[in-house]
Amino acid sequence: MSQNAIETIVIVGAGQAGASAILELRANKYEGKIILVGDETHLPYERPPLSKDVILKPEETKIEILSEQKLADLGVETIRGNGVVKINSDAKTIELKNGDIVAYDKLLLATGGAARRLPNFDALGKHVYTLRNLEDSQALVPVLQAGRRLILIGGGVIGLELASSARYKDCQVTVIEMGPMVMGRSSPRVLSEFLLAQQRLAGVDVRLSTAIADCKLDGEEVVVTLEGGEELRADAVVYGIGIVPNMQLAADAGLDVDCAIKVNENCQTSNADIYAAGDVATQLRDCGNHRRVETWENANLQAGIFARHVMGVEHPTPNPAWFWTDQLNINYQFVGDMAAEQWVARGDVNAEQRADSSFVLFGVSNDIIVGGITVNAAKEMRHLKKLISKNAAFEADKYLDLSQDLRKLVK
């Protein structure tokens, strides 16, 4: 089928990847029908603010990506609150919850993921929360009140961002992390130690290498028993221990899956007319392995790859992977390989320093700059991206000299 013959593209999942795919398709002059199918009743919205501004400033925070009017202007047909229950790849149709059948020429699965569950906590029902969608975030607004005792299970990005929001609201906060580091999956040790120190300076009780033995309700309190026997009591528990990709539709349709939907460099699944993007996709990388990346930027990048491939447009050279987090009024940005052999600081990485100070970390492997982190130094991120993209050699005397403008060192 030629690109001009593609009459209908169906996008399943009205999140970041789905919204970005629509914008990319229209930007690349796709003139056919686009149908956006979402199981939520909302229009596409941003997820990063859910742990921060949606809780702290719910009345003034706008998270909508595509408004009703914008979707209409783009000529998109939207189906909301009526998710997909089956893909028939032979007939090139999807079946919706209400039984309707929708035909496609090309199908994009951007179904994201669901919170990984802790059944013992779920069984308590009352006072136990997760954070994955807008309703989850809105449910936490009345929970995070001054003086309330909050236990956060999981010391990843969401856990630390929620700890920050809860402390802003003057909650008493305990974070329980089974691993030896906070943000251990996405942060080198030097930065993890800084993050941990900032949380503790803000009054957060962070427990590392800590396992939970039991949990129960005692009246209006949640009682969490640690493996050592210590009991922690709280008014509410929020757990965030990662996500499970929503890939059952793909598995049921006979597509290749591992921990998620396997896609090639063009975001195609094992069926050439079905693509996947965002948290639900595990993509073939240059190293020859499939890898899944849970970032806002990756959802946009893969949506763009899908749209350009459908339209026969060449992909631009990919930028190094980038993401960010805001915690305790500190902005952290990450780019490139967080598993670099060594990390070297430009500036003073003093864990006791004030939150308004700043520094840059260079990740170096084989004397080449492969990763970078900025702390309250967002303006330097573009320079780090350039250095990583051109495989720049790390010259300590040059890049660590604070009297030198980093911008001028990047040719």
User: How far apart (Å, rounded) are the C-alpha atoms in residues 207 and 203?
Assistant: 13
Question: pLDDT tens digits for 135-177?
Answer: 999 999 999 999 999 999 999 999 999 999 999 999 999 999 9
Q: Quote the pLDDT of residue 285.
A: 73
- Average per-residue pLDDT in the chain? 94
Identify the helix (H) or strand (E) that includes residue 153: strand 149-153
Residue 4, CA distances (Å) to 8, 12, 75, 273 in order: 11, 22, 17, 15
User: How far apart (Å, rounded) are the C-alpha atoms in residues 303 and 15?
Assistant: 11
Pairing of strands 281-284, 330-336: unpaired
The full DSSP string for 125-147 is -TTEE--SSHHHHHHHTTTS-TT
Q: Quote the pLDDT of residue 5.
A: 66
Instruction: Provide the greatest CA pair distance for the chain.
Output: 66
CB-facing half-sphere around the CA of 250: CA atoms within 13 A: 31
Q: Which residue in 141, 155, 217 sits closest to 186, CA to CA?
A: 155
**How would residue 1 be classed by pLDDT, with cut points 50, 70 and 90?**
very low
Percent of the chain scored above 90 by pLDDT?
Answer: 89
Chain-centre distance for alpha carbon 169: 24
Q: Quote the pLDDT of residue 353.
A: 59
User: How far apart (Å, rounded) are the C-alpha atoms in residues 150 and 141?
Assistant: 13
* Mean local confidence (pLDDT), 59-75: 95
Quote the tokens at residue 2. Answer: 């030629």
- Domains annotated on the chain, with CATH: 3-114+244-311 (3.50.50.60), 117-239 (3.50.50.60), 329-409 (3.30.390.30)
* Mean local confidence (pLDDT), 280-296: 83
Question: pLDDT tens digits for 194-243?
Answer: 999 999 999 999 999 999 999 999 999 999 999 999 999 999 999 999 99
User: How far apart (Å, rounded) are the C-alpha atoms in residues 153 and 148?
Assistant: 16
* Mean local confidence (pLDDT), 304-317: 92
Question: pLDDT tens digits for 114-123?
Answer: 999 999 999 9
8 A C-beta contact, residue 372 and residue 394: no
User: How far apart (Å, rounded) are the C-alpha atoms in residues 247 and 254?
Assistant: 11
Q: Quote the pLDDT of residue 355.
A: 63
The residue type of 287 is C
Task: Please determine, for residue 396, whether its predicted confidence score (pLDDT) is greater than 90.
Answer: yes
User: How far apart (Å, rounded) are the C-alpha atoms in residues 195 and 348?
Assistant: 14
Question: pLDDT tens digits for 15-61?
Answer: 999 999 999 999 999 999 999 999 999 999 999 999 999 999 999 99
What is the CA angle 362-365-371, rounded to 5?
A: 35
Q: How many CB atoms lie within 10 A of CB 263?
A: 28
Question: pLDDT tens digits for 357-380?
Answer: 799 999 999 999 999 999 999 999
Question: pLDDT tens digits for 338-362?
Answer: 999 999 999 988 756 566 779 999 9
Checking 195-202 for CB contacts under 8 A at 24+ apart, the result is 195/160, 195/327, 195/332, 196/351, 197/351, 197/352, 198/327, 198/328, 198/330, 198/351, 198/355, 199/160, 199/163, 199/164, 199/175, 199/327, 199/328, 201/352, 202/163, 202/164, 202/167, 202/328
Task: Please determine, for residue 287, whether its predicted confidence score (pLDDT) is greater than 80.
Answer: no
Q: Quote the pLDDT of residue 190.
A: 95
Q: How many helices (H) and strands (E) does the chain have?
A: 12, 26
List strands edge to edge, sheet with 231-234: 212-218, 221-226, 231-234
Q: Quote the pLDDT of residue 172.
A: 98
> DSSP class of residue 22?
H
